[in-house]
Amino acid sequence: MIRVATVLTHRRATDTVDALAALIAAAERAGVTLRFDAEETKKHGLVAQRGIDVDAPLARDVDLCMVMGGDGTILTALRDYAGTTVPVFAVNFGEVGFLATLDPDGLDADFDRAFAGGFDTLELPGITVGHADGSWLAMNDISVHRKPGFRVADLGYALAGEEIGRVRCDGLVVSTPQGSTGYNLANGGPVLAWGVAGFVVSFIAPHSLTARSLVVAPDDLLTINNRSRDEPVEVHVDGRPVLQLAPGEDIRVEFALATAVLAQLPGASFYHRLRERFGRLAR
């Protein structure tokens, strides 16, 4: 039973005005309370009223997280609710929206269905990144980049304690199955179907004829080392910089099974989603 839902929206409030009005109306019909944090409250000029909590800190004991945005907003929601059973129900207001539950058409009935619990759920894995300065969770990918204006990165990588290779490149990307259709695909890496246990490593502009993408078993620890003597590199989590890796330092990357929950329409499949989202870009 859905009684309380968090709401997260696209950074451009004008894009979601009509959809937000439809969501509020559907919540009122269903007797659902919507929670908006301080940023969302200010963005939409909301005021407290029955069924709408404003300036509400993120609560992890809600029944649903409603997202209206692109993959960046959806990833934020998945990270926020990682480790819980709260489903993320997402309406695509971005370019590709590969993680979105649906597109913004006919939302009145779709929101009624969402609040009635009329959706399937899919558990999504993540990737954890460990370093002396802390740890981070990625739902799509982590990437290591040479810094702008600096020389090419020199990266060593090892799996399960065995060194696999050393590559001079612009960087590398480690992707979950759901993230494999993003940066990894742009690098020429393989797409991993949802449900595959494991992750993929691909390289950004490698200066080598032997650097090839690699699919890694879920229990194998990946270690990435900055082999440069002078040049730091940047580590990004789901596209956001989180760490500068000094020469000689390394990060530890591990697969994390069943980290977050994504809502999807009944009967939806990964292959249908793949055809619809990427077939659309080709037209």
Residues annotated as catalytic are: 71
Question: Where do the H-state alpha helices sit in 12-146?
Answer: 17-30, 38-44, 71-80, 107-115
End-to-end Cα distance, the chain:
40
CA distance 142 to 183: 10
User: If DSSP codes are grouped into helix, strand and coil, which group holds residue 151?
Assistant: coil
> Percentage helix, strand, coil, to 5, in the chain?
25, 40, 40
Tell me how far apart the alpha carbons of residues 282 and 241 are, in angstroms, rounded to a whole number.
30
Q: Write the CA distances from 86 to 64, 181, 262, integer angstroms.
A: 5, 24, 8
159, 221 Cβ separation under 8 angstroms: yes
Tokens read off for 205? 């502009």
Q: Which of 126, 40, 37 has the alpha carbon at shortest distance from 78?
A: 126
- 42: phi > 0 → left, psi -120 to 50 → alpha, else beta; which? alpha
108 three-class SS: helix
From start to end of 10-148, where are the E strands? Answer: 33-35, 52-53, 64-69, 87-92, 120-131, 134-138, 141-146
Rounding to the nearest 10 degrees, give the CA dihedral for residues 55, 56, 58, 62: -150
